[in-house]
Amino acid sequence: MSGHTTFLMWNDQSIEEAAQLLRAQEVVAFPTETVYGLGADASQEDAVAKIFQAKGRPADNPLIVHVAEIDQIARYTSTIPIIADKLIRAFMPGPLTVILPSNGTIATNVTAGLSTVGIRIPDHPAARAIIKAANLPIAAPSANLSGKPSPTSAIHVFQDLNGKIAAIFDGGTTGVGVESTVVDCTGDVARILRPGGITRLQIESVLDQVVEEATSDQDDAKPQAPGMKYTHYQPEVPLILIAGDQHFFKQKIIDYQREGKKVGLLVSEELASLLRADQVQMCGSVADLSTVAAQLYQSLRGFKESDVDVILAECFPEEGIGQAIMNRLKKAATSIIDNRP
Ligand code: TXA
Ligand code: MG
């Protein structure tokens, strides 16, 4: 579509308006607790096609189906394995997506022809109210243009998709900031296909088993989240991950500036207080990695094409939500310079 995008402010009437648009097979962006989603009726191929069109998303990358209540999950699956049931009860609503065997009722372009379906219940009052009012399963990828960081505010959605979708529902800034954890529950052991808002440790403690993590190696014979093969969140200039202390960072900044390059930093407030560069995007505190997750995409979006020639980004500890943060940063990065002992 090329036309007018309605901006909806959050109230009872706008919830109903958003639901009506979804029932009319239109595409509506709405907030979830992770990032903004781009929703459409998951039972209608034509409605779902509009999502792929607006995002410029490859057709072989399946979408997550969003529902409002746990008892709605069984409508779209042939079985709910025990591991899935445990995870659903522990973490839904919340930033978790379970991959389950599909019963074929969802439109085939949602699942990209796979025999599985990804389902989640967003833990956001506006998202759940809209889904409930629409009374439909809602297919929703993150509401960014393909290749851009996921949107954590309605402004980000506007920047990417104004004129391309029917409406943007403004629910403020999202809380978690990185996407849901995608867990394949179709086998004997759970496999994390994408680290996210629910940590590996949380999943292992509920399942009482060691959980596998998928690699992004696409030659692997095991099924992966198809989305993992695409480049993600690639900024317009090279992003280099720096694993090292503040002295090493300082040296790298000087090195690049001597080459005549303008240097941007994507670092925690702790490191930002110790360094100078041409542009600094602060993203949270290493003392609380959830603040880094919450601000990561906004900080990435903060670098504009002309501002800097290279972005140097901090490596965060890969524990807890840090696994999701580093997964996204590695996808955004062109290289890593590791100076740790
Ligand atoms: O937090 C989130 O999950 C956000 C909000 C909007 O809910 N959504 C989101 O959707 O991140 P998207 O489309 O940007 O990412 C979904 C990921 C992709 O990597 C996709 O390949 C994978 O989930 N996926 C979806 N269905 C799948 C399936 N049946 N099997 C394997 N992977 C699947
Ligand atoms: Mg996405």
Nearest Cα neighbor of 302 from 153, 133, 201 is 153
With bands split at pLDDT 50, 70 and 90, how would you rate the model's confidence at 224?
low
Average pLDDT estimate for 107-119 = 97
Q: In DSSP terms, which residues pair with 213 in a beta bridge?
A: 192
Ligand 1 geometric centre to CA of 240 (Å): 26
Dist CA 56 CA 185 (whole Å): 29
Residue for token digits 């909806």?
Answer: 8
With bands split at pLDDT 50, 70 and 90, how would you rate the model's confidence at 84?
very high
Dist CA 304 CA 170 (whole Å): 24
Average pLDDT estimate for 203-222 = 74
With bands split at pLDDT 50, 70 and 90, how would you rate the model's confidence at 221?
very low
Ligand 1 pocket test, pick from 66, 119, 161, 179 with the greatest ligand atom count within 8 Å of Cβ, gives 179
Amino acid in position 145: L
Residue nearest to atom 32 of ligand 1 (CA): 225
Average pLDDT estimate for 264-293 = 97
Q: Radius of gyration of the chain from Cα atoms?
A: 20
With bands split at pLDDT 50, 70 and 90, how would you rate the model's confidence at 124?
very high
Ligand 2 geometric centre to CA of 142 (Å): 4
Does 6 have pLDDT greater than 80? yes
Residue for token digits 């949602």?
Answer: 110
Residue for token digits 């280099």?
Answer: 240
Does 139 have pLDDT greater than 60? yes
Query: What crossing angle do the helices spanning 12-23 and 125-134 adopt, rounded to 10°?
Result: 50
Average pLDDT estimate for 148-163 = 97
Nearest Cα neighbor of 106 from 30, 59, 56, 40 is 40
Average pLDDT estimate for 304-308 = 78
Q: Which ligand is nearest to the CA of 145?
A: 2
Residue nearest to atom 29 of ligand 1 (CA): 117
CA dist list (Å): 337 to 151, 241, 243, 331: 28, 6, 6, 15
Q: Which ligand is nearest to the CA of 146?
A: 2
Residues with CB under 6 A from ligand 1: 32, 34-35, 37, 61-64, 95, 97, 99, 111, 114, 116-118, 120, 122, 140-142, 179-180, 182, 193-194, 225-228
pLDDT at residue 233, as a whole number: 73
Dist CA 29 CA 165 (whole Å): 8
Nearest Cα neighbor of 43 from 60, 29, 22 is 22
Does 215 have pLDDT greater than 90? no
Question: Are 241 and 251 in contact, with CB atoms under 8 Å apart?
Answer: no
Question: Are 8 and 22 in contact, with CB atoms under 8 Å apart?
Answer: no
Does 336 have pLDDT greater than 50? yes
* Weakest mean pLDDT among 14-23, 298-307, 309-318: 298-307
pLDDT at residue 79, as a whole number: 97
| DSSP string for residues in 71-97 | GGGGGGBS---HHHHHHHHHH-SSSEE
Ligand 1 geometric centre to CA of 237 (Å): 26
Ligand 2 geometric centre to CA of 253 (Å): 31
Ligand 1 pocket test, pick from 34, 57, 64 with the greatest ligand atom count within 8 Å of Cβ, gives 64
Does 245 have pLDDT greater than 80? yes
Residues of the chain with pLDDT > 90: what percent?
88
pLDDT at residue 1, as a whole number: 59
Q: What domains does the chain contain, in order, with CATH numbers?
A: 6-213 (3.90.870.10), 239-338 (3.40.50.11030)
pLDDT at residue 310, as a whole number: 96
pLDDT at residue 220, as a whole number: 37
With bands split at pLDDT 50, 70 and 90, how would you rate the model's confidence at 217?
very low
Average pLDDT estimate for 110-130 = 97
Residue nearest to atom 15 of ligand 1 (CA): 141
Dist CA 92 CA 7 (whole Å): 29
Tokens standing for residue 46: 């034509």
Question: Are 121 and 68 in contact, with CB atoms under 8 Å apart?
Answer: yes
Q: Which atom of ligand 1 is nearest to the CA of 36?
A: 6
Average pLDDT estimate for 299-304 = 89
* HSE toward the beta carbon, residue 144, CA cutoff 13 A: 19
Average pLDDT estimate for 86-114 = 97
Average pLDDT estimate for 274-279 = 96
* CB-based burial, 128-160: b 16+ in 10 Å, e otherwise: bbbbebbebbbbbbbbbbbebbbbbbbebbbeb
Does 105 have pLDDT greater than 50? yes
Nearest Cα neighbor of 185 from 61, 92, 293 is 92
pLDDT at residue 216, as a whole number: 55
H-assigned helices in 210-245: none
Detail the DSSP E strand segments found in the chain. Answer: 6-9, 28-30, 37-41, 64-66, 96-101, 116-120, 138-139, 167-170, 181-184, 191-194, 212-213, 239-243, 263-267, 279-282, 310-314, 335-338
* Weakest mean pLDDT among 2-11, 124-133, 213-222, 329-338: 213-222
* CB-based burial, 253-276: b 16+ in 10 Å, e otherwise: beebeeeebebbbbbbbebbeebe
Ligand 2 geometric centre to CA of 44 (Å): 21
With bands split at pLDDT 50, 70 and 90, how would you rate the model's confidence at 295?
very high
Does 300 have pLDDT greater than 70? yes
Average pLDDT estimate for 101-113 = 97
pLDDT at residue 315, as a whole number: 97
Ligand 1 geometric centre to CA of 190 (Å): 16
